[in-house]
Every structure is written in structure tokens, then in C-alpha cells.
Amino acid sequence: MGSGLPGAFTEAEETITRENMEIHRKLVDDARTEGLATKTWIAIIDNKTCNGCRALNFTTIPIDDVFIARGISVNFPGLHPGCRCSLGFGEAEKLVRDLEQQERTIEELPPEEKEKPEVKTVLERIKQALSRLKRFLFGGR
Ligand SMILES: [Zn+2]
């Protein structure tokens, strides 16, 4: 019924997706009111996770920016019917400190641990999130 959602969703699917989005819209509004500056997409990663949600996992952006996935931009989950993603909110400065701590923890792992693909993936995600956050904090958006 031309609601503007991407893809060919049934009416029931659109309703569920809209309800999910309304919940997240409220969460974003509350976080902004509390003075939080960033939002982080958090996906549940398993064999049902779609590529769009998988790619967005741990993406941290300024609270009023949009996430880009599958060529569409969204302010918050859900990305599609059945989307199980959620959001984390933070002070940008605190998130940078937390991520840097995680980065150091990984850097200090024994070499054979650090070489594991899943560890490398996590480290890559952390580095990407840090560079985005630092651009946000120190200008050059
Ligand atoms: Zn999702």
C-alpha cells in the first residue's frame, strides 16, 4: 500500500516492521533527550542474519545520522520484516575509550589467538568504528 518501505512487503509485514521502527524511534528520542550522542547498530549474528543487518553490526554513527544498508537509508531498525536488530547509545567519548580498551586487549593477545579470522574481524570492526567516531568527534563529517 505504498508506505515507502523498500521491497514488496505484505501488509502484515509492513505493520510489524513499522511497529519495530516506532519502538526504535522512541528509543532514539529518549537517548537524545538524555544527551547521548551516538547510536550503534547491534545485530544478532547467526545463520538467519541477512547481509544488510550483518554489514551494519557495530556500526556507530552520530545519533541523527542515517545507517545505509542495501542501498536504503534508515534511522534505526528494523531493516526488514523479522529484523531482530537493536540499538546501543553512548557518549561518543566513552565509546571511543571503550573501543580503544578492546583494541588494546586484542593487540595483547598471543599471536596464534590474534590470527584467528573471527578475532581479526572483530578488530577490523573496532578500528572502523573508531575511525568513524573520531571523524565525528574531531570534525570532518
Ligand atoms: Zn536486522
Summarised one tens digit per residue, pLDDT across range 91-133 is 878 778 888 998 999 999 999 999 999 899 889 888 988 887 7
Cα separation of 141 and 139, whole Å? 6
Tell me the CA–centroid distance for residue 80 and ligand 1, in Å: 7
pLDDT of amino acid 140? 53
User: Considering only CA atoms, which of 61, 50, 60, 43 is closest in space to residue 102?
Assistant: 60
Most distant pair of Cα atoms in the chain: their distance: 56
Do both 100 and 35 map to the same domain?
no
Q: Residue 84 C-alpha to ligand 1 middle, in angstroms?
A: 5
Q: Please give the residue that has the higher pLDDT: either 134 or 8.
A: 134
**Mean model confidence pLDDT for the chain:** 86
Residue 4, phi-psi category: left (phi > 0), alpha (psi -120 to 50), beta (remainder):
left
Statement to judge: residues 137 and 81 lie in one domain: no
Q: How far is the CA of 82 from the centre of ligand 1 (A)?
A: 7
Helix, strand, coil distribution of the chain in percent, nearest 5: 50, 15, 35
Cα(112) to centroid of ligand 1, in Å?
A: 32
Tell me: do 96 and 86 sit in the same domain: no
Amino acid at 52: G
What is the distance in A from the centroid of ligand 1 to the CA of 50? 7
Angle between helices 92-107 and 117-137 (to 10 degrees): 150
In this prediction, residue 61 carries a pLDDT of 85
Say if residue 38 is in the same domain as residue 4.
yes
Ligand 1 centroid from CA 59, angstroms: 12
Domain that holds residue 135: 92-141
Backbone angles phi, psi at 68, to 5 degrees: -110, 120
Residue 120 Cα to ligand 1 midpoint, Å, equals: 23
Lowest mean pLDDT, pick from 5-14, 47-56, 60-69: 5-14
Among 3-12, 71-80, 94-103, where is mean pLDDT lowest?
3-12
Tell me the CA–centroid distance for residue 89 and ligand 1, in Å.
Answer: 17
**What's the total number of domains in the chain?**
2
Cα 111 to ligand 1 centroid, rounded to whole Å: 33
The verdict on 105 and 83 lying in the same domain is no
